[in-house]
Structure 1
Amino acid sequence: MYESTRGNLNGQTASQAITLGMVPSGGLFVPSTFPNLNWQDLQGLTYRDVAKQVMMPYLADFPEEAVSSIVDVYRDGTFDGEDPAPLVSVGKFGVLELWHGPTAAFKDMALQVLPDLLKVSLKQFNRDEDVLILVATSGDTGKAALEGFKNRKGMHIVVFYPDGGVSPVQERQMTTTEGSNTHVVAVKGNFDQCQTAVKQIFASESLKRRLQEKNLIFSSANSINWGRLLPQIVYYYWAYLQAVKQGKVAAGSAMNVVVPTGNFGNLQAAYYAKCMGLPLDKIICASNTNNVLTDFFATGVYQSQRTFYQTISPSMDILVSSNFERFLYEMSGRDAEKVRSWYDASNQGMFSVDDATLKACRNTVYAGWANEEETLETIAKSYQAYNYVFDPHTAVAMKVYDDYVSATKDQTFTAIASTASPFKFSSNVIRGLDQRESCADEWEALNRLSMLTGWKIPAGLQGLEKKPEKRVHSAIPEEIAQLVQIMFG
């Protein structure tokens, strides 16, 4: 069963939590208890079968055959190769490559599963309305969600992205998505403004009533939806299983993970794996110049009302980390009253946690950040040292990991979550690899990066510049609700 982080809606089934997306009156759904899952029982299984074993306990109201069918996506050719999330040995650490799906980003690992989770949820929940999926994206979620939901009967999806705040490849991926049920909106603002507008729509009873008259209900494909977060737990189990199989970790010994993050969902999934009994020790949180999370772990103060920076790692350009609420719920001892007070609108995005909660946070997570120059330097140094190409998000994680090892001398084997193919950010990766190189044309940069490194351009990025673009709507943040109403009301 599922409960709200703010104590305002409890006793919900998995189907209800996934269909609603977020708690209508504010808050996020979390499992009431965490199942224990011994990693040893998963040894020798395929990724698809590991996914079933990890996800089943959380989907108590789902038929087993439905879950079996849902996880078949991990072996049906949607992902490149037999292993959708290989742990690649690099130096003394491992890189968990999460970008072998159709959009070359880690979001595919969950967003190829969510549409079917939602379909089954609606059936279990006895809902026969069409679903309107609203998605705010800082870059990668948008295309992955569009790809997962395109041409799904009874489902419509609208993606809002910050105009000029994503890479040219990310934007082109979204604007060339096929499907008559897919819609894209360029918002003159940043990701946080897009995300806030979507949350306000979810809370609007009048808009819900108007859409209900059209036989439509809202849901979300952002990681505020439990159905997005659940499949992400799987690959931390997979990383540990591979580390043991490769002899990098002694069976039962601890492993660290480093996660480049903005919205905290990918990191929260690692923490949930730890709650289930996976032998994870330190979870390392890596931020870019928008280092609101790093500052929190240093001071205990969360301050989102600050200067927003547009960086070369755009998927991390976030100041309001939605999933952090789930983390604080656990770190405070599941104190819904505290969480409710911290996230009260009157705080205007700033709050301080108590000493006990901060201590629990620091005992669980190490946080650091890297600026633009350090990110580019890390791309170059890592390629020279390991002949491995990092995208600008994973490079942030690599820099923070180096800082962590320097500060702690911790030699525990560590898996770095690699969240996107370097080809999604080719021109900036080329800048990092060779300061003398410059490639203003993003499509030329794809080929140039391939020639420089010998790496193959992912299939989903090939020929993007030649694909026809769909109509892109434009709006300011304050107009988003009205636009949705015009489009569907």
Structure 2
Amino acid sequence: MNFIQTRGCDENSPKSVTFSEAILSPIASFGGLYVPEELPELGESFLTKHLSSSYKELAFDMLEHFDIDIERGVIKDALDLYDKFDDPKNPVPVVKVKENLYISELYHGPTRAFKDMALQPFGIVLSSIAQKRGENYLILAATSGDTGPAALETFKNRANVQVACLYPEGGTSDVQRLQMVTEDAKNLKVIGINGVFDDAQNALKRLLASVEFKKALKEKNILLSAANSVNFGRIIFQIIYHIHSYLELVRQSAITMGEKVYLNVPSGNFGNALGAYYAWKMGLPVEKIIISSNENNVLTKLIKTGKYDLRDSHVVNTTSPAMDILKSSNVERILYDMFGYKRTKELMQSLEESSFYELTSEELAYLQKSFDADFCNGDEGKKYIKETFYKNSYLMDPHTATCMKSYETCSRDGIKTIAYSTAEWTKFSPVIANALTGEIDGEDLKALVSISKEANLKIPDMIKELFTKEIVQNTVIEKEDIEKEILKFL
């Protein structure tokens, strides 16, 4: 399978590239992204075939259908990393919470967040390609809290790879920050910036497109790639768990094969939702994809009104910080799939130049055939955390809690909903402790102990150990100094 470009092709670029080329150089012509030339059709026969399959067997077969130019042995080694999750036989448990609501738990990997599902195998794939080609790569990562720890975990000490990870100082939870700043592998650099996630992501995109930066790297015999979901190497692994979650409902006799479900996705950069959309396009029976947001509700406004409006907007710090994003990169891939490259280029240029674009009424109606949306503020989210724990004996993090409101407002009775839990409770303990007991001092360790006692849950060792680890990554800079700091690291 080849990959093409969301904004069309400039005169210096090939019309299509291989999977390897797309993940090694993820930014396409005119600042666009790479997408599959066509999606494989799976259908009910594929789903039925995998009713008794393991997660790894399902993943391997789906990747085979994409026909990517990665050796089968490398794919197998990459998928074997799921054996290190809490339950190797079922790395993504799907749990019934209410009559028609099921939670797909994506956080059972080494950093306790859903980014492990894609970044664990992605690290092996990219490093293997680099070694095979005899090339050295700088991997850029911009994080609102979860991509960073997962990227650092998968790439640490891997051959032919160095990582520079950007995070907003004060814009992550303490646990997320500690997971990054205690990483001591010599091929990793963690950089805090005085700004918000969008500043980090904008810097990443600018550097990926910068001729001068690439020239400076070339002098050091280094090429450039990225670990964010602008890279399709992330997205391809995020399609799999939507298919798995549907099959889990069939296995649990919650639905019959072919019955449609809602997929309810807490969304920041839209990669998780894009994976759901691609799974649907490939044959998964889906009624609609529900996008759940926090107070930074640009996606809700887009889906409800057709307007992507960042004029006079600024990022609001919320209780669900991994979703504190205004520019959701993967919306571009949806625009391309629905409206083609010419319209996508026009809309994205308008967003970049005017901080605004608006869909036509026909385009909005088409978008709404696939998506619905709502947003949940922090107080509402804490109310859902408390109610769901005490009424349904289920403890969720504040990102998952945003799905509870959209479940109530966007789902029709009788249709099952799969909502996605993107982080374990340990990642955002002060918010959850406040929701359950009212305590407000905001210290992560104290909150972890409090929740552990209240909910009778063990604090995982990998979380507990963070508070005694040495902080070795203590760089915090202004966003204007990012390029200089990265070159200094190299």
Instruction: Bin the TM-score by the shorter chain.
Output: over 0.9
CA deviations over 1:393-428 (Å, ceiling 9, x no partner): 0001112212223xxx33211111000001111111
Is the Cα–Cα contact under 8 Å of residues 127 and 161 in structure 2 kept in the other structure? no
Deviations 1:170-213 (A, max 9, x none): 11111112311111111000000110011111111111011111
Q: Does the alignment pair 1:26 with 2:31?
A: yes
From 443, 446, 449, give the equivalent of 2:445. 443
Match of 2:481 among 476, 479, 482: 479
Distance (Å, rounded) in 1 between the aligned partners of 2:209 and 2:440: 46
**Separation in 1 of the partners of 2:61 and 2:310?**
38
Residues 1:459 and 2:466 aligned together:
no
Is residue 14–residue 58 contact of structure 1 (8 Å, CA) maintained in 2?
no
TM-score by length of 2: 0.95
What's the offset of the Cα at 1:482? Answer: 2.1
Mapping 1:280-299, distance limit 5 Å: 280-299=286-305
The equivalent residue for 1:41 is 49
Distance (whole Å) between structure 1 residues aligned to residue 160 and residue 32 of structure 2: 27
Q: Does the CA contact (< 8 Å) of 2:145 and 2:322 recur in 1?
A: yes
Is the Cα contact below 8 Å between 2:127 and 2:160 reproduced in 1? no
Q: CA deviation at 1:64?
A: 2.2
- Structure 1 equivalent of residue 90 of structure 2: 83
1:425 aligns with 2:431: no
User: Secondary structure of 1:180's match?
Assistant: coil
The offset of 1:28, in angstroms, is 0.7
Alignment match of 2:347 (pick from 335, 342, 345): 342
SS in 1 for 2:475: strand
C-alpha deviation, 1:66, in angstroms? 2.4
**8 Å contact kept, 1:5–1:29:** yes
What is the identity, as a one-letter code, of the residue corresponding to 1:16? E
What is residue 19 of structure 2 aligned with on the other side? 14
What is the Cα deviation at residue 299 of structure 1?
1.3
Structure 1 SS opposite 2:448? helix
Whether 2:400 is the aligned partner of 1:397: answer: no
- Counterpart CA distance in 1 for 2:98 and 2:441 is 29
Give 1:127 deviation, angstroms: 3.2
Q: CA deviation at 1:457?
A: 1.8
- Residue 78 of structure 1: how far off its partner (Å): 4.2
More moved, 51-60 vs 141-150: 51-60
- Distance in 1 between residues matched to 2:440 and 2:451, nearest whole Å: 11
Which of 50, 57, 60 in structure 1 is aligned with 2:65? 57
**Residue 471 (structure 1) shift:** 2.7
SS at match of 2:229: coil
Which deviates further from its counterpart, 9-18 or 281-290? 9-18
Counterparts of residues 255-404 of structure 1 (less than 5 Å): 255-305=261-311, 306-332=313-339, 335-344=340-349, 347-404=353-410
Q: Bigger shift: 476-485 or 32-41? A: 476-485
SS of 1:96's equivalent? Answer: strand
Matched, 1:192 2:198: yes
Q: Specify which of 416, 433, 457 is matched with residue 413 of structure 1.
A: 416
The aligned residue for residue 6 of structure 2 is 5
SS of equivalent residue, structure 1 residue 277? coil
- Greater shift in the superposed pair: 32-41 or 231-240: 32-41
**CA shift in 2, pair 1:239/1:301, >3 Å:** same
In structure 2, what is the Cα distance between the partners aligned to 1:81 and 1:446? 26
CA distance in structure 2 between the partners assigned to 1:89 and 1:459 by the alignment: 27
Deviation at 1:110, TM superposition (A): 0.6
- The CA RMSD over aligned residues, in Å, is 1.5
CA gap 1:59/1:180 in 2 versus in 1, 3 angstroms: farther
AA of the residue aligned to 1:356: E
Distance 2:364 2:338 in 1: 8
Alpha-carbon offset, residue 439 of structure 1:
4.2
The answer on whether the counterparts of 1:22 and 1:220 sit within 8 Å (CA) in structure 2 is no
The CA deviation at 1:83 is 1.1
Distance, in Å, in 2 between the alignment partners of 1:269 and 1:162 is 26
2:35 alignment partner AA: V
